[in-house]
Amino acid sequence: MTRHSAAQQLVEARQIAKDHGLKVIDCKTAPDKTDYVVYRVLPDGHDTRLGKRSSPQGLRKWVAKLANFH
């Protein structure tokens, strides 16, 4: 099994999200800490917050689950 770096997992999570009508926003919570907030883009143009994750690994896994991506 190939392991991907945190940066690669973040790129994959953003691409999966974009392909499935979601978007990922970075929120700096401290100088060395970032939370990733996931939104679903609704047909009327509004965004609905679905939650957040604090690591790229957790974000990729969660976005894949939300998008039913295998």
Tens of pLDDT along the chain (70 residues) come to 457 898 999 999 999 999 999 999 999 999 999 999 999 999 998 999 999 999 999 999 999 999 987 6
pLDDT in the model for residue 57? 94
pLDDT in the model for residue 1? 43
pTM comes to: 0.85
**Domain extent listing, the chain:** 6-66
Q: The CATH number of 6-66 is which of 3.30.420, 3.10.450, 3.30.70, 2.60.40?
A: 3.10.450
pLDDT in the model for residue 70? 62
Three-state SS for the chain is CCCCCHHHHHHHHHHHHHHCCEEEEEEEEECCEEEEEEEEECCCCCEEEEEEECCHHHHHHHHHHHCCCC
